[in-house]
Structure formats: structure tokens, C-alpha cells
Amino acid sequence: MITTETKNSLQLNQLLKDALKYQPEIQHQYAIVVPCYNEEQRFAYQQFKSFALAHPEVLLCLVNDGSKDKTLAVLRGLQTESPSNVCVLNMPQNGGKAEAVRHGMLFVHKNFDSKLIGFLDADLATVPEEWLQMAKFKEAHPKFGAVVGSRIQRLGAAINRDDSRSFASKMIKKIIKSILKANFQDTQCGAKIFQRNLVPFLFNNPFQTPWLFDVEIFLRLQEKFGKTTLQRGVLEYPLLKWTEVGDSRLKLKDTIRIPLQLLGLYYQYHLKSKPQKIYTSKTKNISVQSI
């Protein structure tokens, strides 16, 4: 005799199989990659579910980064709730956030036709609704090849961020500005969006550093399109809301490790390999969008 527990388990397995086989008929205009590692207890399941059901035009690609808990089961569960626009990419081994994002971006680019592809942190420091607003702003301003969230504290914005930054944090920010040769306010915000044709170039190759891959993305843009790309082709979008989750302050080991990694990036992109100059005097005003 089949017990109720067994029956429920069979039904759940069938739902999962149906979700994995589902071929969506709608066009996903946007795609958000969400890297997840050991998120079983803290994953914002209901928030993601509500967003997915309310926005069928947005694909959510949830990347399980070799989690040691039941994160994969949680992500699969969400997939069964909204199979038309939730997919799960499972990475058997933990590779870190940079690799999870990289594989997720390439997976979406290969398997879906989304025109704007980006990523978002699983802790929802930035909510997906604001990511979508960023994407629509990008559509209204096609000259920008990328739009990146910026946690600028200002009147009217609810930016819940520790303002008591250490001397080391401020110095690292100055080093990043110097390396990028651009007046970036915030390179490390976890909300970023790129036009589709940039994804292969930016994400095909592994990143040199696991935690500074955001900086490396911008260096790759400079390498491909020239030094003025960040000023003309990338827009910092001031977020209306951002909530700091956990303690993001630099640890002692980070104050030593991060500057060394930044020096490594400077060598790799400014000394070892010279930027490729693809502009001529007749094409100075070509935007990233048209390349």
C-alpha cells in the first residue's frame, strides 16, 4: 500500500521532471543570473517566487555553486513553481562567486535569446524589481553597453550601508579608480546588466581573481574597446534601495591580499597586454552598442 508520504514524493518528482522538460513559449527579454552557495536556510524563496510569477519576461537562472547543504533542492523547488522562467544550473564543485556568475552568464547566452543579461546577489541586497528597472533604463538608453548598480547614499534613497569605511577600504577604492582610469563610485555592487553581444567576450575566460572579478570585467571592456569605453559605454545607475547583509567590512588578510590582486590585474591588463585599439579617426564616436 502506497503511503501518503510516498505519494507526495512521487508527485513532487513528476513536477520536477515536467519542469525540466518544459519548453517556454514566451520570449525572455531579460535574464538574471543568481549565484547560490549554501543558501538552504537564507534563500529568499517567496520573494523570488513572487517576482518570477509577476514577470514572465524575466528569466531567473539560479546557479548552485557546489553547495554542501540542500540548496539545490530549494532551487529545484522554485523551478517547479515557475518553470516557464526559472532554470537551475548545477555546478558539482564549488568554484566561487566569479565562476558561478561566469558559467551562468555563458549558459544563458547559449540557451536563451535574452537581449539583456546580468547578475544579482542571492541575498537580495538589491531586489530583482530594481534590477528590472535598471534593465528598462538600459533599453531607453541603448548607447550604453552596460548598466551597473551604484550604492550612492543620497536624499530619497534607502541605502543601508556601513559608512564607517576603514582607511584600507578607501585606499583600495582609490587604487581601483587609478587602475580603471575612470571616476567609478562603486565597482563592487552585485547588480550588473550587459547587452547580449558583450557576454562571450567578457565571460568566456576565467577571471584572474575570485573576488575582484567586477573590476576585471571593466578592464576587459577597456582592453576590447579602448580607454574611453567606461566613460562612454558604461553607466552607473544609482540604486533607490540597497541593504547590507552580514558584515562586509574588510578583514586584516583582505587588506593585504586585495591590493596585491589589484596589482596583478594592473600588470595583466596594462603592462603585459596592450589594449586593442579598434577605433580609427573616422569611428571615434562609435558606441559599444554598434560593435
Rounded Cα distance between 78 and 72, Å, is 10
Range with lowest mean pLDDT among 149-153, 208-212, 251-255: 251-255
Residue type present at position 290: S
With 0-12 CB in 10 A as exposed, 13-18 as middle and 19+ as buried, what is 101?
A: buried
pLDDT of amino acid 149: 82
pLDDT of amino acid 50: 97
pLDDT of 285 > 50? The answer is: no
pLDDT tens per residue, range 22-61: 444 458 999 999 999 999 999 999 999 999 999 999 999 9
Q: Is the pLDDT higher at 258 or at 47? A: 47
DSSP secondary structure letters along 119-157? E--TT-SS-HHHHHHHHHHHHH-TT-SEEEEE----TT-
pLDDT of residue 282: 39
Q: Sign of the C-alpha dihedral, residues 182, 183, 186, 191?
A: negative
The pLDDT assigned to 277 comes to 45
pLDDT band at 279 (very low <50, low <70, confident <90, very high): very low
- CA triplet 62, 30, 53: central angle to 5 degrees? 65
Count of beta carbons in the 10 Å neighbourhood of residue 62: 26
Percent of the chain with pLDDT over 70: 72
Its pTM stands at 0.78
Give the residue carrying C-alpha cell 528569466. 59
Does residue 19 register a pLDDT over 90? no
Neighbours of 286 (CB within 10 A): 15
Helix (H) or strand (E) holding 62: strand 58-65
Residue 207 has pLDDT above 50, yes or no: yes
Q: What is the pLDDT of residue 5?
A: 62
Residue 158: its pLDDT value, please?
Answer: 62
Q: Residue 283's pLDDT band (boundaries 50, 70, 90)?
A: very low
Mean pLDDT of the chain: 80
Q: How many H helices and E strands in the chain? A: 10, 9
Rounded CA separation 111/106 (Å): 9
C-alpha grid cell, residue 46: 517567496
CA distance 239 to 133: 10
Q: Are 227 and 109 in contact (CB under 8 A)?
A: no
Any bridge partners for residue 242, and if so which? 159
